[in-house]
Chain A
Amino acid sequence: MIAPVSRRGFVVGVASLSAGLWTPRLVRAASTMDFDEARHLLSRTTFGATPAEIRAFEAQDYVAAVDRLLAGVRRDAITPPPGWLDEGPAELRRQQRAARAERAEAQKKQGVDGKPLRATQPIQEQGRELRNWWIEEMLVTDQPLTERMVLFWHNHFTSSLLKVRFPPALFRQNALFRREALGNFATLLKEVARDPAMLIYLDGMRSVARQPNENFARELLELFTLGEGHYSEADIKAAARAFTGWTVDRQTGHFKTRDNAHDGGEKTFLGQSGRFDGDAIIAILLRHPRTAETIVEKLWREFVSLKPDPGEVKKLAGSFRANYEIKPLMRAILLSAQFRDPANRGGLIKSPVELIVGTVHLLGLPVPEKTQLVRMMQGLGQMPFGPPNVKGWPGSESWITTYTLMLRQQFLRRIVEATTVASMEGAMMSSPRNRRIERREQLPMRSDDSAMQMAEPTAEPRPVEGRSLRYAGDEARLGPTLSGVDSATLLRTLLPRAPIDTVDPARTPGATVAAAMVDTAYQLK
């Protein structure tokens, strides 16, 4: 614990020197990035970058690079929304009933293959489409930082499909997170309190003056703003009363207020008294210093290091509280000496979504069907729109247990062994053997090994070049994102630090990628 502190001290020293004494030309030179720093900046603000993406930032002025990252932020998704977006809950209920009837009918018949027919359930099907839609957006967006922030807010203001059971509301909540991804936290908080998915998830829609439901009020204080230890049970009760009457229209699925269900009486909340409504409670919370600190600490753990620097957090939170603009806060975090400290590189663990989206992006793999990617995310403990509870995914070290580490390695090995170099040419779509190989191209990622065993090479000559990266030697054809790059650069692209296990530097690029991806250091960012 002593070494990083002294290294950090050194970096701070250099930064202050450069600001005060060095000539302007040297200032620019001093703040220019090399390959490794550009990689660090991108690995923390995207899902992982290709050599070309890193090179586009390399040799740029660091501050200009950060400003460029922040300037490009999107407020809307590129991917067109699913078709059912405007259906209200009444329509969904009707479809569920129809599907139930169909299922009952289908149980009487048998499918062609002897198994009973399975009618899809509309909610499950919409949920699947919703998750695939977001993963698609993460993969195609030109602004991955935006999606990283959407994921951050999803993990802060959690809602789960399992409880909400109304996918259009979760889509709109996701759109809200994107609109305010790097916008304004005060706006975001006010909107979240009115967000139908949140009102369903934390029972706000059922909270009435006669009997206020405390679920939302409790999490608002404990998780969304102040944090444990900064409020009393009485504050929760008062806040719960203030939010009564905010509900969801059962026909449209949109927010509405019910005045007769609102408790307009006097409340005492965090030492203040008045006839508070929900917005008044939020205003009080926004004036409390803990609210900004909670957000800064969480952003720090997401983007900088596992151990927030208390002094720096206080300082950043102090500025953040002035107007709750998120972009200047993120700018300050990315420009902080701690973020740039080389000792912090490789100091965070990739989340399952980062690991999977990042790997697919880095290898340039075509994955037309996202369902299997989502299933792997679920196995690794991070199903989008399905946080384990209102506290969200605890993240960092808890991503890695004996179970998930093995599953991660399995996923990566499978990608290395079975997906990479084939050029799908010629008439090869007919025989069952070919179809098997084709399936290999689409990431066989079942949680058992049967897909792997099926894909085991046989003695017969193969109709396609589908050889494993590891053994492909010089013929290995990397995808467009990695081809033409030398082994040393590939290693520095894939890993944030030296590999843990020995990687032979003289190996072919294909073998280097294979070795790097199954190296333990690949789990770090």
Chain B
Amino acid sequence: MGRILLLIELKGGNDGLNTVIPYADAKYRELRPGIGVARDHTIQLDEKVGLHSKLEPLMDSWKAGDLAIVQGVGYPYPNRSHFRSIEIWDTASASNQTLSEGWIARAFHGATLAKGVGVDSIVVDTNALPSTGPGLRTIVMQDAENFLRQAQALKDAGGMKDGSATGNPALRHLLAVRQEINGAAKGLADKLRNAATPKEAYPQEVLLGRQLELATRVVTARVPVVAIKAALGGFDTHANQVQPHERLLGLLAVNLATLRKNLIAANLWNDVVVMTYSEFGRRVRQNASGGTDHGTAAPLFVMGGGVKGGLHGVYPSLSDLADGDLKHSVDFRSVFATVAQGCWGQQRDFGLRQPQRLGFL
């Protein structure tokens, strides 16, 4: 039982205010005179907020009620460093706490996983932190054919039973990775070989298209993984952001819409939960370079046949700012707790005393 989480990292800190736009708030236009999204480029969702028009391909999902937008997601004492903040998200830690294990791996502490194919989680981009941990067998793979071909050439570590590697963490790591490849290759080979190509082709101009194509094959081949992770980069828009940001939103939307069509066609849309996330949002006020600096809270998208669509959480006020930044209304760990319960039936609080029960799953 359980659903596959398809996690999509928006690298660099997506500008939430220009993604889900508080179009009715006069403050929005006042603080963003140059880069604010015009009213006629906003798709109205309710009387307060709207989507950027480049996200139009997501409207099918919205109208079908399987697109949830969780508003104002962040955490207390926000950190504005890319590396630190993504680490906080990926490990579901508090701002002042350093954890080395990813939140998906943590969600399966003490849980029994299907032994099935030797792999529990597949990363099709490069950042594997969310599913990194001793309990999950995670494979990083950008191309299935290549993976299988190469894994065959990498023999098992026969000669290392004497424990001579224990004092050398670098060697220990190498051998562990080698073993992981061997285990996963054995299980994946048959499954993927028989997987059909996705019905509708993904746009190829960004890596995300290729990543989602591979993700689709993994899902349709019914490889029993708990999570697949992909990413779209380029959201660190410090200068002249309007065009590049619009382009990214457009690419994201087209790819997600294609994914939805493919999984509906394969009758698997109920078995997958797609979630976007980013290390932070951006400052409310635009900077002098026509861009935005690192900020705090932002909305994220959750999609899937089992998702209760609509707006969740509260859009942070643009008049009640903390040092020029939005105050979060939903702790991201509540989102993760909801996903852990809704996807995998795992009850986790991720260190929150009282995780908020969010209704999207």
B271 at the A interface (CB under 8 A)? no
> Among residues 141 to 188 in chain B, which have CB atoms less than 8 Å away from a CB atom of chain A?
141-143, 146-147, 149-151, 153-155, 157-160, 164, 167-171, 173-175, 177-178, 180-181, 184
Q: Which residues of B are found within 8 Å of A208, using beta-carbon distances?
A: 288
- Cβ-based interface call for A85 (8 A): no
Q: Name which of B21-29, B80-88, B258-266 contacts chain A.
A: B80-88
Q: Does B356 contact A (CB under 8 A)?
A: no
Interface residues in A281-329 by Cβ distance below 8 A to B read: 306-307
Which A residues lie within 8 Å of B323 (CB)? 233
Of B81, B128, B147, B153, which contacts A228 at CB under 8 A? B81
Complex Cα spacing A404 to B184, Å? 15
Q: Is the CB of B181 within 8 A of A213?
A: no
| A448 CA to B154 CA, complexed, in Å | 16
Q: A391 at interface (Cβ–Cβ under 8 A)?
A: yes
Interface contact A346-B171, CB-CB below 8 Å: yes
**CB within 8 Å of B: which A466-525 residues:** 497-502, 520-521, 523-524
The reply to whether B81 and A523 form a contact with Cβ atoms under 8 Å apart is no
Interface set, chain A 313-370, CB cutoff 8 A to B: 343, 346-349
A406–B143 Cα gap in the complex (Å)? 12
B114 contacts the other chain (CB 8 A):
no
Residues of B within 8 A of A222 (CB): 81
**Contact indicator B81/A402 (Cβ below 8 Å):** no
Question: Which of A40-48, A63-71, A115-123, A393-401 is near enough to bind chain B?
Answer: A393-401
Whether the pair B174, A405 counts as a contact (CB closer than 8 A) is: yes
Chain A interface size range: 35 or more
User: Which A residues lie within 8 Å of B140 (CB)?
Assistant: 401-404
CB of A81 to closest CB in B, whole Å: 29
In contact, B150 and A409 (Cβ under 8 angstroms):
yes
- A410→B150 CA distance, assembly (Å): 7
Contact A389 B170 (CB under 8 A): no
CB-contact partner of A306 in B142, B143, B169, B293, under 8 A: B169
Report A386 CB to chain B, min CB distance, Å: 12
Least CB separation from A163: chain B residue: B236
B275 within 8 A of A: no
Give the residue of B126, B143, B175, B184 whose beta carbon is less than 8 angstroms from that of A500: B175
Closest A residue by C-beta to B171: A524
- Answer yes or no: B317 CB below 8 A from chain A CBs: no
Q: How many residues of B contact A (CB 8 A)?
A: 47
Q: Are A500 and B180 in contact (CB under 8 A)?
A: no
Complex CA gap A520/B139 in Å reads 19
Q: Given A405-B181, A413-B153, A501–B158 Cβ distance below 8 Å?
A: yes
B170 contacts A403, C-beta separation under 8 Å = no
CA of A206 to CA of B154, assembled, Å: 50
How many whole Å from B208's CB to the nearest CB in chain A? 16
Residue A451, interface by CB 8 Å: no
Among B138, B143, B171: residue with most chain A CB under 10 A: B171
Q: Are B167 and A406 in contact (CB under 8 A)?
A: no
Q: Is A218 at the interface (CB under 8 A from chain B)? A: yes
With both chains docked as a complex, state the minimum distance between the C-beta of B150 and any C-beta of chain A, in angstroms: 4
**The residue from B80, B164, B288 contacting A211, defined by CB atoms under 8 A apart:** B288
Are B139 and A409 within 8 A (Cβ)?
Answer: no
| Chain A residues positioned under 8 Å from B167 (CB to CB) | 1, 3-4, 343
List B contacts of A410 (CB < 8 A): 150, 153
Check A215 for interface membership: any CB of B closer than 8 A: yes
User: Is A53 among interface residues, defined by CB-CB distance under 8 A?
Assistant: no
Q: Indicate if the CB atoms of B174 and A206 lie closer than 8 Å.
A: no
Which residues of the partner chain B approach A306 to less than 8 Å between Cβ atoms? 169-170
Determine if B44 is an interface residue (Cβ-Cβ < 8 Å): no
| A407 close to chain B: CB less than 8 A | yes
Closest approach, in angstroms, between the C-beta of B98 and any C-beta of chain A? 10
In the assembled complex, the CB of A409 is this many whole angstroms from the nearest CB of chain B, namely 6
Asked whether A449 is an interface residue with its Cβ less than 8 Å from the other chain, the reply is yes
Contacting residues, chain B, for A407 (C-beta < 8 A): 150
In Å, the complex CA distance between A346 and B165 comes to 11
Asked if A214 is at the interface of the complex by the 8 Å CB criterion, the answer is yes
Give, as a whole number of angstroms, the nearest-CB distance from B225 to chain A. Answer: 14
CA distance A219 to B158 in the complex (A): 45
Q: Is B287 an interface residue (CB 8 A)?
A: yes
> What is the bound-complex CA distance between A500 and B149, given in angstroms?
22
Give the docked Cα–Cα distance between A498 and B164 (Å).
10
Within 8 Å of chain A (Cβ to Cβ): is B201? Answer: no
A347 x B175 contact (CB < 8 A): no
- Distance between Cα atoms of A406 and B160 in the complex (Å): 19
Q: Which residues of B contact A268 (CB under 8 A)?
A: none
Q: Is A381 interfacial (CB-CB < 8 Å)?
A: yes
Contact A523 B149 (CB under 8 A): no
Residues of A contacting B239 in the complex (Cβ-Cβ under 8 angstroms):
203, 206
Q: Contact flags (1/0) for A432-449 with B, using CB distance below 8 Å?
A: 000000000000000111
Q: Is the CB of B126 within 8 A of A381?
A: yes
Report 28 cross-chain contacts, Cβ distance below 8 Å, ordered by A residue: A203-B289, A206-B288, A213-B287, A213-B289, A215-B238, A307-B169, A346-B170, A346-B171, A347-B168, A348-B170, A349-B173, A401-B126, A402-B140, A403-B147, A405-B174, A405-B178, A406-B151, A406-B153, A406-B154, A409-B154, A410-B153, A498-B164, A501-B155, A501-B158, A501-B159, A520-B174, A524-B170, A524-B171
18 additional A-B pairs beyond A349-B173, A396-B170, A400-B174, beta carbons within 8 Å, are A1-B167, A203-B238, A211-B287, A214-B294, A306-B170, A348-B170, A388-B126, A390-B82, A391-B83, A402-B177, A402-B181, A403-B142, A405-B174, A447-B143, A497-B171, A520-B171, A521-B171, A524-B168
Closest CB pairs A-B (n = 4): A211-B288, A406-B150, A206-B289, A403-B140
